[in-house]
Amino acid sequence: MSCPGREEKIAALLDGELDPSARAEMEAHLAGCAACSARAQELRELSRAVREGASRPEPDAEQVRRLGRAIRRGPGGKLARAAGVAKYALVAVAAAVVAWCAATWWARPSEEKRIGEEVVVAHVRSLLADHLTDVASSDRHTVNPWFQGKVDCAVGARDHAEQGFPLAGGRLDYVDGRAVAAVVYRHGPHVLNLFVGSERPGGGGSDALAVRGYRIVHWTAGETERWLVSDADESTVKALADLLRADE
């Protein structure tokens, strides 16, 4: 048991919620009080056990698709309407472009973060819009020719079903304002989107980043840039990225 009235202060200290002076005072108290410091240790272990031990359920692709359908047919059907209003489309697109330029100028996120966000949005959109593939096939001899003439680079999709990543197909998508090839792989309940586009000036390099819970691995191969994105865990995304890089 902690000293009377100290219980919540101990928790606030461990949760990083105390201002510097209150923190210093609590730390001094803990140094001299065996009961409170034992309690702090107990709470620290409890937090660690819960954080490391509890499940972190994730929506699978089917659930995301159902959600997307529900939103689009929801009251007012605004998403569907927004997508289909032809007479406003030109003006709205122009306004969106102006707004987006202003927004990017204003927010100025790093280039990497910005592309990462775009990749995540394209990934989520592919699941929500019930539009995962334009060409559904696990045969690379079907998928690769389909991309010819649609994107300005060689895609080189391959099936990795033996390693647990069956090729599900391909589609055309847009990232950073250009058409890119999206190659779709599945892994259990997860969908992994591989976006392939021609290399942007200064867009080289390779890195892995996490954007709002989604994992992205980015690399360049030949004259193409590739982004692999999924909600699957880090090791899964890395495993497929390694397989894909070994193909090149």
Taking CB under 8 A as the rule, does residue 86 contact another protein? no
Taking CB under 8 A as the rule, does residue 94 contact another protein? yes
Smaller CB separation from another protein, 111 or 233: 233
Taking CB under 8 A as the rule, does residue 210 contact another protein? no
Smaller CB separation from another protein, 20 or 76: 76
Sequence-ordered list of residues with C-beta below 8 angstroms from that of 170, at least 6 positions apart, any chain: 133, 134, 135, 143, 146, 147, 155, 157, 181, 182, 183, 184
Distances (CA, A) of 161 to 76, 232, 240, 243: 42, 16, 11, 11
CB of 145 to another protein, least distance (A): 32
- Which residue stretches of the chain are H helix? 7-14, 20-32, 34-53, 61-72, 78-84, 86-107, 111-128, 140-147, 234-247
What are φ and ψ of residue 176, in 5° steps? 60, 35
Which 3-42 positions form the footprint of another protein (CB under 8 A)? Answer: 7-8, 11-12, 15, 17, 42
Which residue from 35, 44, 78, 223 is in contact with another protein, where contact means CB under 8 A? 78
Taking CB under 8 A as the rule, does residue 74 contact another protein? yes
**Pairwise CA distance, residues 74 & 179, whole Å:** 30
Neighbour tally for 97: CB within 10 Å: 11
Q: Which stretch binds another protein (CB under 8 A): 28-36, 86-94, 144-152, 222-230?
A: 86-94
Neighbour tally for 53: CB within 10 Å: 7
Binding positions for another protein, rule: CB under 8 A: 7-8, 11-12, 15, 17, 42-43, 46-47, 49-51, 53-60, 63-64, 66-67, 70-71, 74-76, 78-79, 81-83, 85, 88-89, 91-96, 98-103, 106-107, 117, 120-121, 124-125, 128, 188-189, 211-214, 231, 233, 235-236
